[in-house]
Amino acid sequence: MTTPVFEDVDPVSDCDCPGCVHARRTGPGPLPARFGGRPAARGVVIVAAAASAALGSALPAAALASPHSSHRPGAPAADGDPATPQGKRSPLFGPDAAGPVRPPAVPTPATTRTDIINRAKVWVAAKVPYSMSAYWTDGYRQDCSGYVSMAWGLGTNEWTGSLDQFGVKITKEELQPGDMLLFHNPDNPENGSHVVIFGGWTDYTHTYYTVYEQTPPQTRSQATPYPYWTHADKYVPYRYKGVPAGTVGKRPATADDKPPTRSAGAVHAGPFLHGRGTAPRPAVPAGPSRTPASHGVPGYPGRNFFRPGQENEYITELGRRLMEKGFSGFYATGPGPRWGEADRRAVAAFQRSQGWRGGAADGYPGPETWRRLFA
């Protein structure tokens, strides 16, 4: 019989499952074996290895799996879930930055499922730390409800007690990527309340789905049992009202997508080269002082103006400003009105110059990128 090889297995110190959180709050656990503590984990491995050798077959992987693995949180503590603090409803960038909460001009701005998931992925890539009081560079609060507010493109930071107003209840069978699963505990909002973005089913049985969520210590995406690990009977699926029925990707254009109408004579002839032929260059007032304003940032028209295939004056204005800031090396002949790879690379370089990394420097200008560019 082959002699098993053993090694110490230290307890997981940063697990965010309810049991580990409760243990960290009530006091320190036993010391690891190498510091004189009881080698409990080592004992489990020894017994499992010996049993496996005696039976002449390998134990299933599940028998050796820790209940605190990163992809499957353990059972809740005996006294219930730990507190899940979140901020209250607030403006973008917080009450100190934007004053009192006011209803946005468009309560439920139109979007697509693709855009919702893409926004959710930005925070996952950036590993945004969880906080009930801090605000990320895009203006959204770094807790679960702020994350969903960001993914849905809302004009304010909502919380689990108000997010349902921006959606309609649906059934499990109707769930599609971009919908949310919401649990709000009205009796004690800090105990168990949580909200996540549904990213799609992982199997044909519809028992697991890809979740996008903001949870300690940082934003994550992983396979999760439907509807959630704990309080499974209390999570309610909702569909965002701003998603047109039956659409997955492209959405129909709305009046909010159109640049503001300019008075006669506001555009002067000024040919410039942009890849193919010439085109008139619009005269744009210096700085982002004109309308429209999105997310409370003057002059910022919204993310949908800076996508592949888009052609508008805001792209030209953005390119000029990037060149003024020293990012002209990405343009062969100068910026133009059609969004291209040169624009994206120049924006990404500017974002990296601000200290942003990963998905936060994706090359697509959000409200904070615009604000800093024109500050």
- What angle do helix axes 144-152 and 113-126 make, rounded to 10 degrees? 140
State yes or no: pLDDT of 10 exceeds 70: no
Residue 280 preceded by cis peptide, ω within 30: no
Band (91; pLDDT cuts 50, 70, 90) = confident
Rounded CA separation 313/25 (Å):
55
CATH 3.90.1720.10, domain 90-240, yes or no: yes
- By the 10 Å C-beta count (0-12 exposed, 13-18 middle, 19+ buried), 223 is classed as middle
- Report which of residues 54 and 213 the model is more confident about: 213
Domain residue ranges of the chain, discontinuous segments joined by +: 1-82, 90-240, 256-373
Query: What does pTM read for this prediction?
Result: 0.48
**Phi and psi of 90, rounded to 5°?**
-155, 165
State yes or no: pLDDT of 30 exceeds 50: no
Determine the length of the chain: 375
Q: What percent of the chain has pLDDT over 70?
A: 61
pLDDT given at position 103: 63
pLDDT in tens, 224-257: 999 999 888 899 999 999 998 654 433 333 333 3
Of the segments 39-48, 57-66, 240-249, which one has the largest average pLDDT value? 240-249
Mean pLDDT in residue range 202-213: 92
- Report which of residues 137 and 102 the model is more confident about: 137
Total Cβ atoms within 10 A of residue 373: 22
pLDDT in tens, 301-331: 888 888 888 889 999 999 999 999 888 888 8
Band (165; pLDDT cuts 50, 70, 90) = very high
- Report which of residues 119 and 61 the model is more confident about: 119
Whether residue 313 contacts residue 288, with contact meaning beta carbons closer than 8 Å, is answered with no
Band (295; pLDDT cuts 50, 70, 90) = low
Mean pLDDT in residue range 83-93: 76
> Locate tokens 């942003």: which residue?
356
- Report which of residues 268 and 202 the model is more confident about: 202
Rounded CA separation 175/181 (Å):
9
- The first and second tokens of residue 358, run together, are 């990963």
Minimum mean pLDDT range among 93-97, 158-162, 223-227, 270-274: 270-274
CB half-sphere exposure, 65, CA atoms < 13 A: 11
Contacts for 245 with CB less than 8 Å, ≥ 6 apart? none
> Residue 311's beta-bridge partner residues?
338
Mean pLDDT in residue range 266-274: 34
